[in-house]
Structure 1
Amino acid sequence: MGFDATYKRNKYMCPLVVFSGINHHNQTIIFAAVLICDEEKDTYRWLLQQLKVAMNGKPHVSVITDGDLSMKFAIEKEFPNAHHRLYAWHLIRNATSNIGKPQFTSMFKKCMLCDFEIDVFRQKWFEMVEGFGVENKNWVLDMYKKRHSWATAHIRGKFFAGFRTTSRCEGLNSIIAKYVNSRHNLVEFIQRFNRCVDHIRWKEVQADLTSVNGRPSMQTYFQQLERSAANVYTLSVFYMFQPIFVQAASMKVINMKQTGSYVIYSIGLDRMPNEMWRVFCCDIEMEFNCSCIRMESFGIPCEHIVCVLVHEDIEELPRSLVLPRWTKTAKVGLQNAVGFQWDSLMLSQYGCLMDWFRQLANFACQDNKRFIFTREMAMNLLKQFKEEDAAQKELVNDADSVRDDVQVNAFGTGLATNDLGHSMPRDPKKCRIKGGLHSPIKENIDVDSVAWRATIEQLVVFVVAFHS
């Protein structure tokens, strides 16, 4: 999950916090978004608490931030078992500003992003800092202490789904900017931000349709194995996986050793005889583990495991190597998950129906009679359901009118009702910020905290996205 507050502030100087993630098409999606009055520790803790409620208590496994200390504190308190990673872009920028040597920044980037073993990383790090004479720099010493939060060598095996730079957040911010700007008040923000969320959902629907109908071409001699991956993975994920088949073609099994129920394969390249990887295979369970730990990090088998599959003439990708969150049935499979609350079940059922209706539409539009029949059935069902909902709303009309009473405090903030009788947030007082736009001081915010929280609770836009 990306935890980002870098999007520009609104007309009340309130920062927008966006919680983002990755769906089964490797697209950036929004988990939640909220306007906050300050960037204090308690505020961020409250946000994460609300996020946990919206996700039915499901904790996040991985969180990535820009290194803000208040965010770090909140994550440690609310998601103590989550892996906290720092955005690569911010670290590269800090390396440039603190050291001021382009060659150092380039080498630092390699140390951060390259898939080194820990011993190799340590060797390259000390060679780099000694070579540039910066071993006593406070920033360098601090970065080495925090290496478990940014160095790929130390993060290997922790699942981040390839989320490591701010490029995703920057791309998401550019989409948000098309719908929301600093001139909008709170009501306009809600309306326009919902359009942004609808756009992101529509992109996912398009990707679903492409995955159902897409037929990628095979690129290697392992066509049966490659095709089985194409049948299971979404199209976007398969295109991420396909180059791994090409890389596996240049590898070979150099040695194999039976140890109890496990077989240990030594995998190498012809041109690099000294570099070896070990793949552990359990014959009974058909489970594979590689010393590179990329399966655990990205959820996609590495070229070393694929090499073993080819060597053993396995023509179908084993289930143990297929992470459900990358598959075409990622949303459908959640409808039978145990322990989900009603809201979650409803969303998963929505995803299931969307998949069936897309397939139905694909067949119905090919024939005019089918189209007319399907259209009439859909319109009749829609009319019936609307009439049932309207009758149900009449029964609870009195309760709704009580619940939608105006709640306004002395400052004029809080909740009001619109023309339809639904509660709407009133505009808060503008935050007075001391020390510039990027230094909000909690004591100088001229707004009642209780009323502000009541307003914010109306602004939290939770878009629940489930991952296995």
Structure 2
Amino acid sequence: MHHAQVDVTSEAATNPEISVSGFEAHAGDENGVEDIIVEDADEIDDEIWSTPPIPYTGQTFDNKKEARQFYNMYTKRIGFSIRTGTTRLTATTREQRKVTYVCNKEGRGRKAKEDKANDESDEDESIEEISEQEDNNDGAGKKRKKLDGGKKRKREKMQHTNCKAKLVLNLIGEHWQVTDFISEHNHDLILKPSLKKFLRSHKGIPQAEKEFIILLHGCNLTTGRIMQLMNEFYGSAQVVPYVGKDVSNFRSTIRRREKYKDMQETLDYCIELEAEDPEFFYKVKLDDRNRVESLFWVDGAARHAYIESYHDCVSFDATYMTNMYDMPCAPFIGINAHGQTFQLGCAFIRDEKTPSYKWLFETFLMAMKGKAPLNIITDQDGAMRNAIASVFPNANHRNCRWHIMDKFSSTIGPILEEDEELNEDFKECVNHTVTPAEFEEKWAAMLTKHHLEGNVHFQRLYAIKSSFVPAYYMHCFFPFLQSTQRSEGFNAVLKKDVNPNMSILHFVRQYQKIQEKCLVAEEGQEFKTDDREQRRWSKYPIERHAASVYTKNLFYRFSKEFEKTAEYDVKLAGEFQYLLVPNNTTVYGYGKREYLVTAIEGDNSYFCECSKFDRDGILCCHILKIMTRKTLWFSVLSTSFAELAAEGCLSNERYTIMQRHIKEMRSEISAIKERKKAKKQKMSNTPALDPAIGDAQLTTSGIANAAAATASGDNGVPPSIATNAGSMEAVGNPPRSNVKGRKKEKRLKNGMNAEPKRKNKCRLCKSTEHNAARCPMKEDERGLDLGSVTAQ
């Protein structure tokens, strides 16, 4: 037996023209698609040979695949493409015993069979990319190919020259033998190496690089990004032995394979996660056709975090355009002790109706051992609201203020834009009222002042005031939240890794990766909190103590709050009460209003009507102002009495005067204490006074508890559950959902302050017709003297 073997390594070492691929086979297959092989892919590294081995009559091979690879390698170096011409089968076993490989320009292109073969094999790679989608609503799963809104796909035919070049193989015994070989061509050959990758039989991706592309596909890199990486690896785009369309087709093959058993493989993946993490929880609901209707999963770390610490506040929102079934994605988002977003589980539901949300919330309760969230914020969805009222009846449920304001931006926005004073009154009423009674009073005054009593748009907004106005939630723990921006932020991060064509399995994998990133980020903040010294704004002991209690991120917020103490003056408003008056026009986050602080010295307890401690878990600048003021008073009195003591000890007369006045002061102070004690007993049953802090130096655990949002309870969690576990092997993919959420590229982005969207203005001439880069005044600026520009 004679084999035409080539030592690639030695040839490459002696021939500087040979370009060897730097890829090696990657171990493992993350997506389980190692069996995906393009039929005509060249498995041999793309190399340029100066003296290619030539087939000859009598040459033998162990199998037909080996023979074809050898001949295809030869044709690539010569500069033409091959295809299978004719085959002959045995009469008894119907196995191939003869095969002929011909030049791709063989024939004259007259037969319909040849035309069809050429149409399939010779596509113009410069035409626009074809988007292929599958109709998931029909059981047959027919493919739909679109180009420019349904135009017919453009194809180009090859010029056939009736070339006679061929290689004939016959099965003789157990080996395939070359019985005929013609090397002459009647057409020009492709000699430029960078053009040979466009020949049909030389298209395809080497196996090692397929495995690498599978890894990149799992990271959701675009085809363009993948090709950029390959260009860098090879050194030039011309040297890469395939084009972007080949990578795109290969990725489509991966997606098609994932799609057929998507949900079954997703459940298998959940079982794998459960084996790695015994506290991983998942539950699936099937319809009457055994197709997935709803799916929920949560990892063990998130379960422990929620049960032990982060059940005080949950942000919940449904998002779209994340999977090929159009199923709404519903993640549960929490906030950890560092103020970071934390994933508390995720779900897919078929529709956005009350029964679907009710099943989801009940499953969430099951996973979290019956511990319902104390506070939850969502968008303004009726079905969601009904389900929350049914499953979480004791939770404080509020709606996202951003979405509500955005909804009314088209009706109320123009009115506010026309009247600047009304706009200021509206913001002051909605954002800076602290009690429902105050909101009602200011709202009525605003309507009367601006003659809006009969305006239906303001009446509609007023009707839902209790679902979004902060005054109705001042004592509820929504740390630094006025909207569902935590959920929106997670959705934005998630959509960098998923798209509407992705499978559920791919989504779950990406979700787990994002959760790992969250855990790493939390560990990084823990290290910085323990290892780094917090930068303080002042020398007050209270700030030094706060630095030892708060985490790094929360202490930063505390310091910013401490800085605002300089923006207030203090007025005595009565016994135990102080009025904080802004010394400037507006204080960021608090507006122009005054705030009343109640401070009981005997209990060292403080209460501010802004309720920031209840809402965010950190002290407000108003309470901090009173605390620092008391410290300042003590310092002033200590200095004054030290000076008087130094003077009073110089003579008996001075000493007698000092003692008399000290006795009188003690008597008066004792009388004040008695009056305060009596008033305190009278006020002991009054709920308006909330002792939020243990003492003036923050020595209680109140801040730590509020910052970490911890709660006692059993750490045990129930085992994971899968509905209809006995029939998991027959689980089908869900149909395409008809959602009521956003459609592609039509989502509203703005509207936080219920104002209409404004056009960007040119910073030079203030025109809305262009920006500064295209402004006609730009030429004048360019003509300025360089020295004058630098001086400015």
Scaled by the length of structure 1, the TM-score of the pair is: 0.67
The 3 A distance-change label for structure 1 pair 283 and 59 is farther
- Tell me how far 1:203 sits from its aligned partner: 1.4
- Tell me how far 1:40 sits from its aligned partner: 0.7
**Among 556, 561, 567, which residue is 1:244 paired with?**
561
Q: Could you say which residue in structure 1 is the equivalent of 2:735?
A: 430
Counterpart check, 1:88 vs 2:401: yes
**Among 371, 392, 398, which residue is 1:79 paired with?**
392
The structure richer in helix per residue is 1
Whole-Å Cα distance in 1 between the matches of residues 518 and 326 of structure 2?
26
**Among 322, 330, 338, which residue is 2:703 paired with?**
322
Whole-Å Cα distance in 2 between the matches of residues 253 and 436 of structure 1?
50
The 3 A distance-change label for structure 1 pair 433 and 323 is same
The 3 A distance-change label for structure 1 pair 13 and 230 is same
Conserved? CA contact 2:322–2:498, under 8 Å: no
Whole-Å Cα distance in 1 between the matches of residues 514 and 371 of structure 2?
25
The 3 A distance-change label for structure 1 pair 288 and 406 is closer
1:372-411 equivalent positions in 2, closer than 5 A: 407-408=726-727
Alignment RMSD: 3.3
Whole-Å Cα distance in 2 between the matches of residues 57 and 434 of structure 1?
29
Q: Residues 301-352 of structure 1, C-alpha deviation per residue, up to 9 Å, x if partnerless?
A: 112221232233387323154142425xx7xx77xx3x314239x9xxxxxx
Counterpart check, 1:342 vs 2:654: no
**Among 332, 344, 354, which residue is 1:41 paired with?**
354
Conserved? CA contact 1:185–1:427, under 8 Å: no
- Tell me how far 1:138 sits from its aligned partner: 4.2
Conserved? CA contact 2:475–2:611, under 8 Å: yes
The 3 A distance-change label for structure 1 pair 175 and 84 is same
Q: Which 5+ residue runs of structure 1 have no aligned equivalent?
A: 259-263, 347-402, 409-414, 417-424, 439-468
- Tell me how far 1:86 sits from its aligned partner: 1.4
Whichever residue aligns with residue 228 of structure 1, its letter is H
Whichever residue aligns with residue 208 of structure 1, its letter is E
Conserved? CA contact 1:279–1:304, under 8 Å: no
**Among 507, 516, 519, which residue is 1:201 paired with?**
519
Q: Could you say which residue in structure 2 is the equivalent of 1:394?
A: none
1:54-133 equivalent positions in 2, closer than 5 A: 54-101=367-414, 103=416, 106-107=423-424, 108-129=426-447
**Among 267, 286, 304, which residue is 2:579 paired with?**
267
Which piece of structure 1 moves more, 41-50 or 108-117? 108-117
Whole-Å Cα distance in 2 between the matches of residues 251 and 275 of structure 1?
9
Whichever residue aligns with residue 550 of structure 2, its letter is Y
Counterpart check, 1:234 vs 2:546: no
Conserved? CA contact 1:179–1:196, under 8 Å: no
Tell me which structure has the larger Cα radius of gyration: 2
The 3 A distance-change label for structure 1 pair 319 and 435 is closer
The 3 A distance-change label for structure 1 pair 44 and 255 is same
Whole-Å Cα distance in 2 between the matches of residues 189 and 16 of structure 1?
10
Q: Could you say which residue in structure 2 is the equivalent of 1:163?
A: 481
2:738 aligned counterpart, secondary structure: coil
Whichever residue aligns with residue 161 of structure 1, its letter is P
The 3 A distance-change label for structure 1 pair 33 and 132 is farther
- Tell me how far 1:10 sits from its aligned partner: 1.6
Q: Could you say which residue in structure 2 is the equivalent of 1:371?
A: none
Whole-Å Cα distance in 2 between the matches of residues 293 and 435 of structure 1?
37
Conserved? CA contact 1:5–1:18, under 8 Å: yes
Whole-Å Cα distance in 2 between the matches of residues 125 and 85 of structure 1?
20
2:317 aligned counterpart, secondary structure: strand
**Among 304, 329, 333, which residue is 1:20 paired with?**
333
Conserved? CA contact 1:5–1:15, under 8 Å: yes
The 3 A distance-change label for structure 1 pair 146 and 230 is same
In percent, how many aligned pairs have the same letter? Answer: 26
Conserved? CA contact 1:186–1:427, under 8 Å: no
Scaled by the length of structure 2, the TM-score of the pair is: 0.41
Q: Residues 179-231 of structure 1, C-alpha deviation per residue, up to 9 Å, x if partnerless?
A: 33222222222222111111122111111112112222221242x22111111
Q: Residues 283-303 of structure 1, C-alpha deviation per residue, up to 9 Å, x if partnerless?
A: 24x432223222112111112
Conserved? CA contact 1:225–1:316, under 8 Å: yes
Q: Could you say which residue in structure 1 is the equivalent of 2:771?
A: none
Whole-Å Cα distance in 1 between the matches of residues 328 and 352 of structure 2?
8
Conserved? CA contact 1:113–1:151, under 8 Å: yes
Q: Residues 104-144 of structure 1, C-alpha deviation per residue, up to 9 Å, x if partnerless?
A: 69554553323455454334434544566654454432321
The 3 A distance-change label for structure 1 pair 318 and 269 is farther
**Among 595, 600, 608, which residue is 1:281 paired with?**
600
1:322 aligned counterpart, secondary structure: helix
Q: Residues 48-99 of structure 1, C-alpha deviation per residue, up to 9 Å, x if partnerless?
A: 1111122222221111111100011011111112111111211121111233
Whole-Å Cα distance in 2 between the matches of residues 20 and 11 of structure 1?
23
User: Does 1 or 2 have the higher relative contact order (CA < 8 Å, sep 6+)?
Assistant: 1
Whole-Å Cα distance in 2 between the matches of residues 270 and 43 of structure 1?
50
- Tell me how far 1:25 sits from its aligned partner: 0.9
Q: Residues 376-428 of structure 1, C-alpha deviation per residue, up to 9 Å, x if partnerless?
A: xxxxxxxxxxxxxxxxxxxxxxxxxxx999844xxxxxx23xxxxxxxx9552
